[in-house]
Amino acid sequence: MIEIATKAGWREYVEATYDRPAPITSQELRALSFGDRALYNQGRAQYAQAGAFVQTPRFKAFQHAVRDRVMLNTYRRVGKLGLILSGEPGHGKTTSLVEVGRSHELRRREIGHPAAGPGKLPVVYVAVPAQCSAKALMHEFARFLGLPLVGRKTYGDLLDMVANALRGCSTELILIDDVHHLDLKYRQNIEASDMLKQLSERCGGTFVYAGIAVEGTGLLDGERGGQIGKRFEVHVAAPFSLGSKADDSCWGDLLLAMENSLCLTEQKLGSILSVAEVLHALTGGEIGLLKDLLQFASLKAMDDGTEKLDLAAFDHDLQRRQEVAKLLNPKPPRSRVAAHSR
């Protein structure tokens, strides 16, 4: 597992590639030795899990908003613009956050941008720890940057050290994950939030926050929150809906992309759409749950040799869940008064 909250780990994540395995027929797959077939299956699972990223319309809008702010902040001396990605667990916030950072760094490398030159760090990723003080959060920045923390350093010393390092590394994009840990009901979190604002003004990069229900943490409330609210645009990572033609189309496109990423030799592409409503009911439209559900089903199809999703199994699973729900939540008995009135 790649630990992306360090400079070396982030670089490994950005440079990691998981290519789609070469397509083969079911006959060719059966002709492989046990070891070669296991390696091929591992490659398919790895590609589906880590190599295939589905760019949903919401992700594209978020990515474009990040690009615009990076461009504008290059020419702003004060009042840097930022973004907040908010949502419940399982809605793809961290995945979207790091993919935006990875894509940005790869683009900078491809065009030979100075921010991606030797000794530079176009992107920095930090996860806010629970019960976080300003100094503790500063240590997370220092850990990513590989800065030495020797002797006793004051808050001001740490702020200077981190800000100077970010400027020296030409960092353009600072990704702050788990920002919901900065619940402003607690004094130490207020100090950490203020530190991020100070750092934003001093380092020149674009800050992008991601967290669970950020709107309810107080980060956007009061005098402090007013400044953030005016400068940071909030994007919400929400489950996919069904009902309208546009919503149904987006859900269908997601299913088709994930079906294709599984690389099953007998899977007829497009057949997954026949259980679109069932899959939505099973996952609540959450992209994380959908991905897990399909990949477990894909592994089963590889193991039993069918090489295609058991679509009927999804319907049976939904029926079982509905039966269990009825048992756990039986209808209340009618009152005697109600029965007598009838």
Instruction: Give the pLDDT confidence score for residue 270 in this predicted structure.
Output: 96
Largest CA distance in the chain: 84
Instruction: Give the pLDDT confidence score for residue 337 in this predicted structure.
Output: 44
| Position 132 confidence tier, pLDDT thresholds 50, 70, 90 | confident
- Are the beta carbons of 125 and 8 closer than 8 angstroms? no
pLDDT of 336 higher than 50: no
Using DSSP's 3-state secondary structure scheme, residue 86 falls into strand
| Position 155 confidence tier, pLDDT thresholds 50, 70, 90 | confident
Distance CA(331)–CA(333), nearest Å, equals 6
Instruction: Give the pLDDT confidence score for residue 341 in this predicted structure.
Output: 44
Q: Average pLDDT of 170-198?
A: 83
| Position 127 confidence tier, pLDDT thresholds 50, 70, 90 | very high
| Position 223 confidence tier, pLDDT thresholds 50, 70, 90 | low
pLDDT of 197 higher than 90: no
Task: Please state, rounded to an integer, the average pLDDT across all residues of the chain.
Answer: 89
Return the minimum-mean-pLDDT range out of 36-50, 63-77, 147-161, 293-307. 147-161
Tokens 């491809």 belong to 110
Instruction: Break the chain into its structural domains and give their ranges.
Output: 21-52+243-328, 57-237
Instruction: Give the pLDDT confidence score for residue 334 in this predicted structure.
Output: 61
Of residues 119, 101, 131, the one with CA closest to residue 166: 119
Using DSSP's 3-state secondary structure scheme, residue 2 falls into coil
- Are the beta carbons of 311 and 271 closer than 8 angstroms? yes
Q: Which 8-state DSSP code applies to residue 184?
A: T
Would you state the structure tokens that stand for residue 96, as one six-digit string? 């979207």
Q: Average pLDDT of 14-43?
A: 95
| Position 329 confidence tier, pLDDT thresholds 50, 70, 90 | confident
Architecture of domain 57-237: 3-Layer(aba) Sandwich (3.40)
In single-letter form, the type of residue at position 264 comes to: L
Count of Cβ atoms closer than 10 Å to residue 117 Cβ: 12
Return the minimum-mean-pLDDT range out of 46-50, 151-155, 201-205. 151-155
Return the minimum-mean-pLDDT range out of 10-19, 131-140, 255-264. 131-140
Instruction: Give the pLDDT confidence score for residue 80 in this predicted structure.
Output: 86
- Are the beta carbons of 181 and 144 closer than 8 angstroms? no
Would you state the structure tokens that stand for residue 1, as one six-digit string? 């597992």
Instruction: Give the pLDDT confidence score for residue 226 in this predicted structure.
Output: 63
- Are the beta carbons of 231 and 220 closer than 8 angstroms? no
> If you average pLDDT over each of 150-159, 296-305, 324-333, which comes out highest?
296-305
pLDDT digits (tens, 9 = 90+) for 59-94: 999 999 999 999 999 888 778 899 999 998 888 899
In single-letter form, the type of residue at position 219 comes to: L
Tell which wins on pLDDT, 153 or 287. 287
Q: Average pLDDT of 113-140?
A: 90
Of residues 268, 285, 267, the one with CA closest to residue 276: 285
Helix or strand run (H / E) with residue 116: none
Model-level pTM? Answer: 0.86
| Position 187 confidence tier, pLDDT thresholds 50, 70, 90 | low
Helix or strand run (H / E) with residue 176: strand 173-177
pLDDT digits (tens, 9 = 90+) for 288-309: 999 999 999 999 999 999 999 9
- Are the beta carbons of 311 and 297 closer than 8 angstroms? no
Instruction: Give the pLDDT confidence score for residue 274 in this predicted structure.
Output: 96
